[in-house]
Amino acid sequence: MTTKPAQTVVEMQDIVKTYPGVLALDRVSFDVKAGEVHALAGKNGAGKSTLMQVLNGLCLPDSGVIRIRGTEFSGLTASLAKQEGIALVAQHAKFVPGLSIAENLCLGAVPSKRGFIDWHGIYASAEEKLSRFGLEIDVRQRMEMTSVAERQMIEIARALFADASVIILDEPTAPLPKREVERLFGFVRNQKQRGASFIYISHYLDEIFEIADRATVLRNGKVAGAAAVADLTQRDLVHMISGTSVKRFTRERGNVGDEVLGTRNLTRDRAYYDINLSVRAGEVVGLTGLEGSGPGALARGLFGLEEMGTGHVTIDGKPFEGGNPSKALHQGLAYLPRDRHGLGIVGILSVRDNVSLSVLERLKSVLGLVDRKKERALVNEYISALSIKTPTMDTPISSLSGGNQQKCVVAKFAATEPRVLILDEPTQGVDVEAKIEILRIVDDLSKRGVAICVVSDELNELIDICDRIVVFKRGRISQEFMKGQEDITPKRLIAAIEGVSMEEEHEHV
């Protein structure tokens, strides 16, 4: 008995799209079958998002053919794509901050009764949809009060329950903690069994092997390769993405100086308790744990984005007060946020404006105006030092790839010449090569004597670059690993994070 081949739901043939001076898509062909997850991989700027914008009707191709369930479309509009069951979950959740979660979920289709808004229906529908996704949250609270993870989950839920049959997931797990990723994957698998199709865009290669059936790789706007995931190895995929073999970056322990950052009994109720931490000049310390266990809250508290709490904090032996980002920067502490788009960059401004934003006071002339010559020299220095790929420093930062935007955020805070730099998920949502470049930047800053904390759940990266790794559990420091003194493995770190012994971990294997 032969298995009937799955129907091709989406077929894109020889798609070409150009922008001024850039060939974004060069005769790209791509298809999706019913009930499959087709991964789309490639470096930042390879053309993945542009191809999906064409499919979603957000931009018109210069040439090429698009077929949906056999029907040919010369040019899709966003409304037509939606009618045909195409839905896009963007990498960065889009929402109206001042409206409630329920209102955001029903935008474009607000229920009414006798000409009046049906508020009861809005809230009941939102609660029902989110509970089906396993997300228990007060739908009446404003979107601006939710976390990055909650916003992304809400955005995904909105697409999954909009009667879409082909769902484009563009880096959907980038802002999500590990435990939420499996919940999403479970939902995707359930919808896939019911015939829904997914296009899965991700820089996390392990996720592609976990969730996808096929993978297509774009490189410089062209298809570099396509195959069933079962026929690929991670090395194959990395080679297709980069065109070369990419080696992991491993940082050697450098010279460590005196204590720069010290916390003594730092406590904030429901966030962290009795945190005693010491970070020395030139040292890179990893902070990790389950989502909500303390590292992220500690980073935001120290930088003044949230209350710091009670206890004693010093920088170079002097009392550190914090209270807000401006005070923190003035006292020598900088923070690269996890939410790059919400807190790290100003999308409407240029690369130059973003990089110099944190040091404008230093760039003032005697007349009180910004010395543009000094500003351009400073920005040029960081563009060169961090290998930021941008046409000019006056290019809008929003047009850069995710990896280059992240480098601009690093440049903005490195320009303040901090004594302490806290990086919150610094490689989140960037491609393989950009990750390595960012890790090299961390190494270079440590060699300049900066005390660095890296908040991350990317355990292999922490092992590669950190001198010490501090594990948090339920708001407290539970364990610490020192490079060179013991064999640090992801398995040992996971056991510490989950609060089990290696013997117990072994029993469950």
Which tens digit of pLDDT belongs to each residue from 3-17? 556 799 999 999 999
Same structural domain for residues 330 and 448? yes
Among 281, 302, 301, 304, residue whose Cα is nearest residue 419: 281
Is-contact 323 383, C-beta < 8 A? no
Q: Quickly count: other Cβ atoms within 10 Å of residue 433's Cβ.
A: 16
Residue 378 lies in a domain: no
Residue 123 lies in a domain: yes
Lowest average pLDDT, out of 152-161, 182-191, 270-279, 422-431, goes to 152-161
Among 473, 55, 123, 481, residue whose Cα is nearest residue 275: 473
Q: Facing residues of 311 across strands?
A: none
pLDDT at 45 over 70: yes
Phi, psi for 464 (deg, rounded to 5): -70, -35
Same structural domain for residues 503 and 454? yes
Same structural domain for residues 108 and 137? yes
Residue 365 lies in a domain: no
The rounded Cα 428 to chain-centroid distance in angstroms is 4
Q: What is the dihedral of CA 455, 457, 462, 468, to 10 degrees?
A: 60
Long-range (24+ apart) CB contacts under 8 A made by 121-130 are 126/101, 126/102, 127/102, 129/105, 129/157, 129/158, 129/161, 130/101, 130/105, 130/154, 130/157
Residue 352 lies in a domain: no
The band of 502, judged by pLDDT with boundaries at 50, 70 and 90, is: low
Same structural domain for residues 238 and 266? no
pLDDT at 322 over 90: no
> What residues make up the domain containing 337?
259-344+418-508
Same structural domain for residues 157 and 280? no
Long-range (24+ apart) CB contacts under 8 A made by 341-348 are 341/92, 342/148, 343/305, 344/405, 344/406, 344/409, 344/412, 345/397, 345/398, 345/405, 345/408, 345/409, 346/397, 347/396, 347/397, 347/398, 348/396, 348/398
Residue 390 lies in a domain: no
Same structural domain for residues 234 and 320? no
Same structural domain for residues 71 and 17? yes
Same structural domain for residues 144 and 199? yes
The band of 194, judged by pLDDT with boundaries at 50, 70 and 90, is: confident
Is-contact 266 298, C-beta < 8 A? yes
Residue 374 lies in a domain: no
**CATH assignment at residue 452:** 3.40.50.300
The rounded Cα 306 to chain-centroid distance in angstroms is 21
pLDDT at 90 over 90: no
Residue 336 lies in a domain: yes
CA-angle at 198, arms to 192 and 201, nearest 5°: 140
What's the CA gap between 155 and 166, in Å, rounded?
A: 15
Mean pLDDT of the 450-456 span: 96
How many Cα neighbours within 13 Å face the side chain of 216?
20
Residue after which a domain boundary falls, among 191, 213, 242: 242
pLDDT of residue 3: 53
505 vs 289, which has greater pLDDT?
A: 289
Same structural domain for residues 213 and 149? yes
pLDDT of residue 396: 93
The band of 509, judged by pLDDT with boundaries at 50, 70 and 90, is: very low
Q: Facing residues of 424 across strands?
A: 455
Q: Residue 144: in which H helix or E strand, if any?
A: none
Among 297, 310, 307, 296, residue whose Cα is nearest residue 266: 310
Same structural domain for residues 222 and 326? no
Give the pTM: 0.72
Same structural domain for residues 97 and 230? yes
Q: Give me the number of domains the chain comprises.
A: 2
Looking at every residue in the chain, the average pLDDT score rounds to 88
- 3-state DSSP of 329-355: HHCCEEEECCCHHHHHCCCCCEHHHHH
Is-contact 451 235, C-beta < 8 A? no
Express each pLDDT in 114-146 by its tens digit.
Answer: 778 889 889 998 898 888 766 788 999 999 888
* Helix then strand then coil, % of the chain, to nearest 5: 35, 25, 40
Structure tokens at 360: 């404008």
- In the sheet where 259-268 sits, what is the strand order? 272-280, 259-268, 310-315, 318-319
What's the CA gap between 272 and 299, in Å, rounded?
A: 11
Residue after which a domain boundary falls, among 216, 242, 268: 242
Classify the C-alpha dihedral 328-329-331-332 as positive or negative: positive
Mean pLDDT of the 290-317 span: 94
Residue 385 lies in a domain: no
What's the CA gap between 470 and 453, in Å, rounded?
A: 10
What's the CA gap between 40 and 354, in Å, rounded?
A: 30
Same structural domain for residues 66 and 211? yes
Mean pLDDT of the 424-453 span: 88
Residue after which a domain boundary falls, among 210, 242, 274: 242
